[in-house]
Every structure is written in C-alpha cells, then in structure tokens.
Amino acid sequence: MYNLRRESDGAGDSGGMSLALWLEDGEVHFAHGARPVVGVAMRVGSIGTRSYVYQDWWQTSLITEILEESENYVRFRTGNSIYEWWENI
C-alpha cells in the first residue's frame, strides 16, 4: 500500500498504485511501483476504478527537490507544494 499526502491540507490518496510519470522525447513515460525522484510527477491511488463518489488517484506536479528520504519514506517539494510519500510494508 502506497500513500501520498500534501502537507498544507492533508489532501492525497493511498492504494496499490505508485506511478512515476515523466516526459521524454515528446512522449509520456511511466514506471510502476516507483519512489519519488526529482523530475517526475507521482500518481498514487487505486489501480482500478472505485466509484463516482471517490477519486481514483492523486497526482502531483513535477518534483523539484527531495527534502528527506529513508527506506520507505520520501518528503519532497513540487513547484508549489510539499508532499510526503510512504509505503506500508
């Protein structure tokens, strides 16, 4: 289970998907089961769809800086927010 939370208001999501997305040569690339790194956007949440009542995932803008990192935890900055990402093992 992966978790993503924006520090300013607690918004985010959790679920079985932790996807890193980045643009390279005009194409969007992605990696499943990814940890946050500089230069990617992170998408965390449900692998499948839930329902129309709840969101299916939360996605950040591009990561600009890693602020803190340990084995199962990363605190990072995007263009306008600070997030915490962690994996429950």
pLDDT over 70 (residue 58): yes
Q: How far apart are CA 76 and CA 44, in angstroms?
A: 14
Q: How far apart are CA 38 and CA 52, in angstroms?
A: 32
Look up the domain containing 19 and give its range: 2-87
Q: What percent of the chain has pLDDT over 70?
A: 92
Confidence band for 53, pLDDT divided at 50, 70 and 90:
low
Average pLDDT score over residue span 2-22:
96
Q: Do residues 83 and 2 make contact, with C-beta atoms less than 8 angstroms apart? A: no
Confidence band for 47, pLDDT divided at 50, 70 and 90:
confident
> How do strand 2-6 and strand 57-59 relate by DSSP bridges?
unpaired
**Count of the separate structural domains present in the chain:** 1
